[in-house]
Structure 1
Amino acid sequence: MEFDLNFFMWAVPAVLFAAVSKSGFGSGASFASAAILALVLTPGEALGVMLPLLMLVDVTSLKPYWRKWDWGASKAVIIGAIPGVAMGAALYAFVPADLFRLMIGLMCLLFVGWRWAGALGWLRADRRPISNILGGLSGFVGGFTSFVAHAGGPPVAMYLLRLGRDKTTFQASTILIFWGINGMKFIPYAFLGIFTWQTMLADLFLAPVAIFGAWLGVRAHYLISERAFFTLSYVLLVLTGLRLIWIAV
């Protein structure tokens, strides 16, 4: 890993985008940061650089959203993520991540299409309560894909958007959930050798960018209307889905 101009030309925008997306607009598109970094680093180095920075954004963003989350939904997702992270750690070196990128990408597009069809009146709204089992399932998938590719945002976003909470509850819940999931990933990453002295040095250089991005994302969250926020969330899910499919194929 060389800390030259080429590295910072890619790394700074990637980290800034991840921090703004994660702290202000859910975590659906923040996965793209690792994909961008993978253009100049190995995939393992990209994962190792991004995890501490994502954790830094989580911690920086917790206070502005403190106790504004949906605790029941968040708890279900976090509990479900435990076996997902464990499976990711066990299968990290054996399962092709592209298979899961493809599945999640298709799920993103199908989910947004389903919500769009409902808004147009083509589908009848389902008024039944949403089971915590669905939250646990989204946590399991999100925990696994977060471990192997920092791509846990879309499964979790699909579940939280389905609950129909207001934008701040949605955002606060994603912050709490990924604070938990990213914390679970740290020790397995260390044991698997994903962290190195070079990734830690890169984190020192990029930490101010992550903190600034988190601050900017929180400010943007409260400046944008609820309608615009959820419209942007769906747009980010579509872009995320297309990007995941493109990487996979």
Structure 2
Amino acid sequence: MVQYIDGVCAERGEPAGAFHYAGCGRSDVGPALLVRQPERVTAAVLCGVPAGDVDPVGIAAPVIAMAGVYDADVAIADVAALAHGAPDGRLVVLERVGGPAPLEAPELVAAELVRLAPTPGFATIAERTDAGMAVRRAVLGDAHVDRATAAATDLTREFQQFITDYAWGGIWTRPGLDRRARSMITLTALVARGHHEELAMHPRAARTNGLSPDEIRELLLQTAIYCGVPDANTAFRIAKQTLEG
């Protein structure tokens, strides 16, 4: 399979290197590829592959083990064993799927693979996570992040990881906008959606990112026009409590 992929890359004039993989079935070459040539696979979605077909411990790449509720060929428990045995594995159960997921639900398989893949600019997901944590601490402060991390439970720990990976690592690290601009967007979005608890964190974060109190006032005044006076009124109250104590 690797030779085939390298051949396709050569025909297209593209460099051959690591790739993301999705496949299914007991005869699929993907599981063996993950174990035998881990340097070539950066992320994988394995559909309907039970743990007995591959040693999960040997899978270095982040992997999603996907199972269909109505799949008669493999039990969800067997697929779950693969997800839970892999160092960086996760189980996804598809409610309306009974056959090969890449055929019955290709958009779901593709979406999960994209979520696993490293963000452009980072060679690995671990690099993205580290960068996200660094930005999260720089913007919100060590004390806030330490409290959030310490308060994480078995129920919320994966969500905290998700925030660091995707919000801070996947978006706030991108070069297209500076942190000042991202703070303005974030404040506006939180006012518009009425997310008041989350909004309380971001006036101070906006100050950290270079916005002056006058600029925050002007931003909130404009939200009164485009988001609504009651929303802006609440936002001003929250900003006053946050910035003036």
- TM bracket (short chain): under 0.3
Q: TM-score when scaled to structure 1?
A: 0.22
* Bigger fraction of residues in strand: 2
* Bigger fraction of residues in helix: 1
Q: TM-score when scaled to structure 2?
A: 0.22
- Which structure would you say has the larger Rg? 2
